[in-house]
Structure 1
Amino acid sequence: MCGGRRCESLIGVSCVGRLSGYVRAGVAHPEEAPLLREAVALLFEGRSEADATRWLASRGMLTPRGNEFRREVLHRLLTNPRLAGLDESGEPIESWVERVLEPDVFHRLQKLFADRSEKRGRPREAHDYLVTGGCALCEECTEPMVGSRAHADAPPSYKCDGCGKTRINADKLEGFVAEHVLAELLKPEARERLERLECDIEAEIGRLKAHIEGAEERFASLGDLYGRGLMVRAAFVAAQKASKEDLRTSKLRLKYLEQMTDLPVGDVHDLMAWWRTAPHASKRGLVLLEIEHVWVGRVEGSQAPERRVRLDWRQPAE
């Protein structure tokens, strides 16, 4: 009993004020202490604190208050020097005859925590995705694939922005796409075809710019019709909303198309060498010019792009 309240632990009655792993100060708990040592061993093996917390829960270990351990509670416990029989200054507590962790193990554990914290604090290396922006699409739901990482330490990948079910490693997908684009450019008629595609894109860019420049005049015309009573308010609001959406879509399309122009590959003889040293913007422009869509399918148990990826090649206007 403790203060008139019953406090359940792994083996029965205990005091709420005690430290996990100890029956009382300086006396190790016969069942909790070995479990905590095993949890620490898991951390040294590379497991996460969340893994260690789940492992303790699977063994039925509770906090002195009778609650399941949470990751932050376990971390706070494992950074408490009393777990190793040390005071706040790191000196051994003379009256303690037993300890859950040996001091050298405790110090190794604190270094492990510090190393992991420093690693988490480092900014992840940015990845310039090659086929985002609507080029790569999910074959499952036809929504765009976006740049993503499965977790903080995971490599860059593409994930469906719609259903979320389709994911593929970025390096594998981009390597597959680049290989096919360069192979296509080695064909005899490829340069002529590329020039025709560039002409088509430049023509569409010209039309979009003119359309965007005329937006102000279109908005003014709508306002004039509404002001003269030739358009009811509901129709005016709907037309204005549609015009704003059209302008937004046109600007996004223009930005997308402008990535495909001014490519130097027409004068490059060794395309493989050019690809290895070319700026990312030039590589992306070339890929977007050649390929309209990269369709990524879901194949259970396989990450091989050959089984998952289908390319829609852009065709010049007749």
Structure 2
Amino acid sequence: MSGGLVAKAGPQRYPGASTAYWYQSKLGGDSMESNVIVWHTTEGTSLPSYSGGTEAPNFTAKPDFAAKVLRWYQHFDFDTSSRALVHAGAVATNTLNVSQVELVATCDPATHAKWTKAGYAHLYTPELPDWVIRDLAAFAKWAHDQHGVPLTSGVTFKAYPGSYGTGNGVRMSNAEWLSFKGHCGHQHVPSGNLHGDPGAFPMVAILTAAKGGTTPQEEDPMAGLTKKDIFDAVWKTDAIAAPSDAADVKTNPNWQPQSILRDLQARVRRMDATVAAQSAAITALAGQVGKGADTAVIVSAVQKAITDAVIKVDVDIHGQDT
């Protein structure tokens, strides 16, 4: 990036953004050709006042949970310096070809837990839903298409509170900041900035979606599969030779899902067989005792009842196509 007053090129208003809170008219700002987007979180659930605009970014994106869209507010032109960064060092910040976006959200896990317990609808940056990533990606694509902001980042978005402070391990040096282009967070900006927002921001997913790819949250390995497809994948064995023995089941990967489930089913039925056999034996025993039969007759009757029950269940297990 390189600073300086230049003529602004390209459309300066993001399509659909409200200018109800427009601060440029009273506060002005430096003109530049922005090649960096700095992302922030407001750490609140409503549109901030930004101290009358004196701490405002270029844009604020506020979630509409009912409609599942982000509502955009614009406070300065895309290529006019805004005021959400600290400048207390050797290099410029707000005026150094930077356009800034505040997302109405929190990056703080403690705040997230408190708001969740209180029942407040809110965004938490490590867990942004697909529709938020979609709308943030649309903005990143517009900034790229209309202003040439690279769809790259190259920095690590560290989770809050570890992202706070000058020694957070991800904040740029002055030299790195001067040469940076693309997307970063408040946690990366030097020159007196301490803030750790936007925490563990899903920058990779946003930029991937902006390039026309799918985000990790949208990938579904079960997409398009019917219940029959899933059933056949587990049970159908028309094209696979039956395993010859238990060892084959363990060594043949094609058989493992089917054989494991079939084995479980067989075990359950054998348990049923044991219960049935015991019940039959008890019934037979009771009947013979009531007749005053001798021991040999009782043993023979019990053995026959057990054998009959086990044979019946074994036929059920091996003789039916389940």
TM over 0.5: no
> Higher helix fraction: Structure 1 or Structure 2?
1
Normalising by structure 1, what TM-score?
A: 0.25
Normalising by structure 2, what TM-score?
A: 0.25
Q: Who wins on radius of gyration, i.e. which is larger?
A: 2
